[in-house]
Structure 1
Amino acid sequence: MDTCLQEKLLSVLEYVLGRLARYDEGNPIGALLSMAPKPNSIFNKMKNLVGDQGINLTGSSSNSAGSPSSSNAKTAANQQQNSGHMGHSYVNFMRGSSETLRQFVTDEVWVNNLFEQWFSGQMNMINEWLTERLQQSLSPYQLTCLSFLVKKVHSDFELQGIDEELLNSKAYESINRRLKLEETNCALNENNASTNSSSSFTGANSFSLGNLGNAQAAVSNVSSVMEGAGAKVFALFK
């Protein structure tokens, strides 16, 4: 039963990592998924269109804004906004499974042993998944999901009483170093993109200002020529 339960729990993480693999560099499916709007972005657009208080069909917006149903609706909306990636969904599964095991299994020693093996299996699986991608960078969506997932798994299993030596294993340290490196690369890419956009905008402005100065000089030359020609014509009739 112990082995079967571990395989079932780890199969969920294997499924999540398989879904994240679709966002690998060079994968055409990942490119299409990256361009598609995420659920949280769609929610933000609808929130901007409708407003924080929503549409009131009864006409009493002031009363409904302070009602418990309105506050519950806002809480549900915030939860929907935060559950926009697979890392959040996996953490919810992990927490629900942990609570179920604690409630229905009375042998604490067996449960603690299961949690230790479950944590080690998760870290080893994520580390192997990242090792297969040493020659390529993670996409922003992959980085967001894995950073959230690893952080919450580590903190939740620490609260479950897992030994510190097992929590800070070599696999976890390797994952942590890789994610920090990916975060640094992502930040550098964003800075380079913003710098290039600002430099191109500055170049366009300088080019337009240069053209404007040339146009003004041409206009002044034409006006001086016209003035000279007018003076000559006036001298002929004098």
Structure 2
Amino acid sequence: DPQAAPEKRLEDMLRLGELCVEVLTQNEEHHAEQQYHSKIDVLIDEAFKDMLSSLVTKFAAVLDGVLNKLSRYDEGTFFSSILSFTKPGMDLADTYITFIRQNQDILRDRVNDELYTEKVFEQWYSSSVKLVCVWLTDRMDLQLHVYQLKTLIKIVKKTYRDFRLQGVLDVSLNNKSYETVYNRLTVEEATAAVKSGDGLQGISMRDSDQEDD
């Protein structure tokens, strides 16, 4: 559940990151006098990489949970026909987007190193889009349920917009995974529009970076 994210662990990791930045700064100031600090540089760099990987992995696990819930609606599954009679809202997408924004704010508030923050955002975005891409590729021969489509469109659009606002460059935003996801969802949207009319209730892949909320 995105709302039950381990914020305490995240804050502990961010405190460690701040300590690494402080030690690295002190190390640079005294490097000329104490050559052995070069070994500390290596250790700190490795710690940064480990923390970065750990953070991205934790964020990806939340999205993976969202995608697992969407899998219940896969075409041809036992539950898909039953679930088709229900009319779920956008709570799943909205909760995940809230999770993204809350943790982006935590990172901005807790980490003073802009370069480190940018790397986290870039890798977080990249891993998220790749997860969605793989999930869709696994369903290449299936038509998406309208609920799957609406939820993914909203998540992909908001994710793209929010990470762009956080400074992720267009060259990273528009990577191959994103292009694949965008094209697939656009085709699914067109198919759904023909079959169900306004079944998407105005949700569309168009203008993914121009919405206000």
Instruction: Return the TM-score normalized by structure 1.
Output: 0.60
1:135 counterpart = 2:141: yes
**Matches of 1:142 and 1:13 in 2, distance apart?**
14
- What is the Cα deviation at residue 30 of structure 1? 2.4
Task: Tell me which residue corresponds to 1:164.
Answer: 170
Correspondence 1:89 to 2:95: yes
| Superposed displacement of residue 141, structure 1 | 0.1
**Which letter does structure 2 place at the counterpart of 1:164?**
D
Gaps of 5+ in 2: 1-50, 198-213
**Counterpart in 2 of 1:185?**
191
4+ runs of 1 displaced by more than 3 Å?
A: none
Q: Which runs of 5+ in 1 are unaligned?
A: 41-83, 192-238
1:29 CA displacement: 1.6
Q: Which residue of 2 aligns with 1:126?
A: 132
- The residue number in structure 1 matching 2:69 is 19
Question: Would you say how many aligned residue pairs link Structure 1 and Structure 2?
Answer: 147
Q: 1:91 to 1:102 in 2, by over 3 A?
A: same
Aligned equivalents of 2:97, 2:194: Cα separation in 1: 29
Distance 2:193 2:185 in 1: 12
Alpha-carbon shift at residue 33 of structure 1 (Å)? 2.1
- Opposite residue 30 of structure 1, the aligned amino acid is S
Which runs of structure 2 are paired with 1:186-225 in the superposition (5 Å)? 186-190=192-196
Structure ID, larger Rg: 1
Aligned-residue identity in percent:
37
Kindly provide the amino acid, as one letter, of the partner of residue 17 in structure 1: L
- Secondary structure at 1:35's aligned position in 2? coil
Q: Which of residues 51, 55, 58 is equivalent to 1:5?
A: 55
Match of 2:83 in 1: 33
Check 1:94–1:4 CA distance in 2 against 1; reply closer, same or farther (3 A cut).
same
Q: TM-score, normalised by structure 2?
A: 0.67
CA RMSD, 1 decimal: 1.1
